[in-house]
Structure 1
Amino acid sequence: MKKIGLIIILAIFILFLNPNTALTCDVCAENQPAGLENITHGEGPTAIWDYIISWGAVIIVGFTLVYSLKYLIKPKENSQSHIKNIVIDNL
């Protein structure tokens, strides 16, 4: 099991750390705003609202990730009246 996890982590690092995976063409790189060159094809963010929406989404996804991991690792469902016990008791 440890080997599979190691292989998956290694594959992710190779995929995301390879400099050729996400390079843009020369025309797109010239049209991107400063700081975002060579990230994506097409037109980059054009107004401040594009950045606000993007960073708002990043913050929401970050909170969602943190809380989902928190409640998956330690759910704190110790009460005998919790709904999961209805299913467990019927088995």
Structure 2
Amino acid sequence: MKKYLFLFVVLAYSQAAFACDACKKQQPKFLQGITHGPGPDSNWDYLIVALMVFITLYVMAATLKCLIKPAEIGREHIKRMILND
């Protein structure tokens, strides 16, 4: 049952993610069919989105790095107090 519920949610979300016909006409050529709403007002919008994507990717990479290979190896680190109890 969980498998079918997950499949339903994924399919429902994928249909909602595509733009409708009215929105497709308002978007620039390379964004048609992807986003909803009117097109960007200026080139600053592209810069802001690119900056947000860069920050997000950087934070994801830093998080994965810290999770995969943590650098706390000292015996006096606070995590040792918690783990040794």
Q: TM-score, normalised by structure 1?
A: 0.72
Gaps of 5+ in 1: 1-7
1:25 CA drift (Å)? 1.8
The 5 Å alignment of 1:12-31 reads 15=10, 20=15, 22-31=17-26
Runs of 4+ in 1 over 3 A off after TM superposition: none
State whether structure 2 residue 66 is matched by structure 1 residue 71: yes
State whether structure 2 residue 36 is matched by structure 1 residue 41: yes
Name the CA distance, whole Å, in 2 between partners of 1:82 and 1:20. 49
Question: How big is each residue's C-alpha offset from its partner over 1:4-54, in whole Å with a ceiling of 9 and x where there is no partner?
Answer: xxxx9xx79xx48xx745322222101101210011221121211101110
Q: TM-score, normalised by structure 2?
A: 0.76
Gaps of 5+ in 2: none
Give the helix-richer structure, 1 or 2: 2
**Relative contact order, CA 8 A, sep 6+: which one is greater?**
2
| Number of equivalent positions | 80
State whether structure 2 residue 72 is matched by structure 1 residue 84: no
Name the CA distance, whole Å, in 2 between partners of 1:50 and 1:25. 21
Name the CA distance, whole Å, in 2 between partners of 1:69 and 1:75. 10
Which piece of structure 1 moves more, 31-40 or 60-69? 31-40
